[in-house]
Chain A
Amino acid sequence: MENPTPESVCEECLKKTKIHYREDGRFFMPRLLSINHLQLGNSKILHNPLVLIVEWLYRQYKHLRDAWKRFIAWLFPRPTKVWCHHADSALVGQIHYADRDNLNTPIHNLRVEFWGRTRWLQWRKLADGYSDDEGKFSLQFELREARNWKIYKTQFEVYQTTHVYFESEKPKVALECCYVEQVPVSNLTGMRYNLRTIHLHLWEYRRDTPVPRTEIKNVDNDSPQYYAQGRLDALFEQITPLEVTKAKHLLQIEQAPETISLAQIQSDYPENLTVCIERKLPGYTRSDEWFGRRMMNGMNRGTFLPDKENHNMFWVKYFGVCNYEHNDEYALPTVEIKFALKENGLPTPTEIHITGQTNAFDKNPWQKKVFTPANGEEWLYAKRIARVNGAFSTEVDEHFTGTHLNTEQYAIAAYRNFRRSPLACLLFPHLKEVALVNHSADTLLIHGYIPSATALTENGLHQRCYELLGMQDWKNWKPMKPLSEAHTCAKAEKMFWDLTIDYVEKFFAENLEEIKHHWIEVYRFSQDLVNHAVPVFLSSIDWGKLSPEEKQLANDRIEYYTYQYSFDTSAKRETVNGELKVVSPITTSRTFEESPPEDMQNLKHVCAYAIMMATYMHTWINEHQYDDLGEVLYSSGGLRYGNKERGILAPESDLSISPDLTRSTQMLWFTNFLSRTEYGFITKNEEGDVNPLFSKMLLDRKEEFAKLGVDVNAIESRTNI
Chain B
Amino acid sequence: MNTKKVSLLQAIWIWLGEQTDKIILWIYAMFFALMIAVFVSFKTRQRMSHNNGIAGEGWLKIVDAPEFPEHPFFEKGKQYPVRIRHASATYLDDAMNCIRSISIKFSHHHWHSPFDIEMNTGAQSLFWNAVSFLKFGSMRKEQYGIEYVEYLRRYPDGVDGTKGAVRRDPTSFHNLHYYSKTPFLFLGTDGIKRYAKYRVLPLENEEQTGVEHRFSEFDLCNQRVLPFDPRGRNYLKYEYEDRVKKQGAKYRLQIQLHTASDDDDPEVFNNMVLWDERSHPWHDVAHFHIEKTLDWKQSTMTTFSVNNMPKTLGVLPAKSIYDYNSLNYLRAHSEIARKARMLSYKVFGMVPPIPDNDNRNVSGWGE
Task: List A contacts of B153 (CB < 8 A).
Answer: 194, 196
A265-295 with Cβ < 8 A to chain B: none
Q: Are A189 and B266 in contact (CB under 8 A)?
A: no
- CA–CA, A309 and B131, complex, Å: 88
Task: List A contacts of B266 (CB < 8 A).
Answer: 88
- CA–CA, A144 and B154, complex, Å: 19
Closest CB of chain A to B243's CB: distance in Å? Answer: 38
Q: Interface centre among A143, A144, A191, by most B CB within 10 Å?
A: A191
- The verdict on B135 contacting chain A, using a C-beta distance below 8 Å, is yes
- The verdict on B106 contacting chain A, using a C-beta distance below 8 Å, is no
- CA–CA, A165 and B117, complex, Å: 65
Contact with B along A118-151 (1 / 0, CB 8 A): 0000000000000000000000000110010000
- CA–CA, A147 and B21, complex, Å: 12
- The verdict on A604 contacting chain B, using a C-beta distance below 8 Å, is no
| Complex: chain A residue closest to B267, CB-CB | A88
Q: Are A189 and B128 in contact (CB under 8 A)?
A: yes
Partner pick for A143 among B154, B267, B322, CB 8 A cutoff: B322
Total interface residues on B, CB under 8 Å, equals: 16
- The verdict on B317 contacting chain A, using a C-beta distance below 8 Å, is no
Q: Are B156 and A189 in contact (CB under 8 A)?
A: no
The 3 closest A-B pairs by CB, nearest first: A189-B132, A191-B157, A189-B131
Name the prevailing secondary structure of the B interface residues.
helix
- The verdict on A193 contacting chain B, using a C-beta distance below 8 Å, is yes
Task: List A contacts of B154 (CB < 8 A).
Answer: 187, 193-194, 196
Contact with A along B137-163 (1 / 0, CB 8 A): 000000000000000011111000000
- CA–CA, A364 and B272, complex, Å: 82
- CA–CA, A711 and B272, complex, Å: 69
Q: Are A190 and B129 in contact (CB under 8 A)?
A: yes
Task: List B contacts of A192 (CB < 8 A).
Answer: 155-157
| Complex: chain A residue closest to B138, CB-CB | A186
Name the prevailing secondary structure of the A interface residues.
mixed
Q: Are A191 and B135 in contact (CB under 8 A)?
A: no
Q: Are A187 and B128 in contact (CB under 8 A)?
A: no
Partner pick for A144 among B127, B135, B157, B322, CB 8 A cutoff: B322
- CA–CA, A196 and B135, complex, Å: 18
Q: Apart from A189-B129, A191-B272, A193-B154, what are 4 other A-B pairs with CB-CB below 8 Å? A: A186-B131, A191-B155, A191-B157, A194-B155
Q: Are B156 and A190 in contact (CB under 8 A)?
A: no
How many chain A residues sit at the interface, stated as a range, is 10 to 19
- CA–CA, A186 and B157, complex, Å: 17
- The verdict on A92 contacting chain B, using a C-beta distance below 8 Å, is yes
Given the contacts A88-B266, A196-B153, A191 and B128 also touching, CB distance less than 8 Å: yes
| Complex: chain A residue closest to B135, CB-CB | A189
| Complex: chain A residue closest to B132, CB-CB | A189
B156-214 with Cβ < 8 A to chain A: 156-157
- CA–CA, A196 and B217, complex, Å: 12
Closest CB of chain A to B189's CB: distance in Å? Answer: 34
Task: List A contacts of B155 (CB < 8 A).
Answer: 189, 191-194
B260-278 with Cβ < 8 A to chain A: 266-267, 270, 272
Q: Are B135 and A187 in contact (CB under 8 A)?
A: yes
Closest CB of chain B to A134's CB: distance in Å? Answer: 15
Contact with B along A164-195 (1 / 0, CB 8 A): 00000000000000000000001101111110
A637-677 with Cβ < 8 A to chain B: none
Q: Interface centre among A143, A147, A189, by most B CB within 10 Å?
A: A189
Q: Are B322 and A191 in contact (CB under 8 A)?
A: no
Task: List B contacts of A191 (CB < 8 A).
Answer: 128, 132, 155, 157, 270, 272
Task: List A contacts of B132 (CB < 8 A).
Answer: 189-191
Task: List B contacts of A88 (CB < 8 A).
Answer: 266-267
- CA–CA, A187 and B135, complex, Å: 7
Closest CB of chain B to A705's CB: distance in Å? Answer: 59
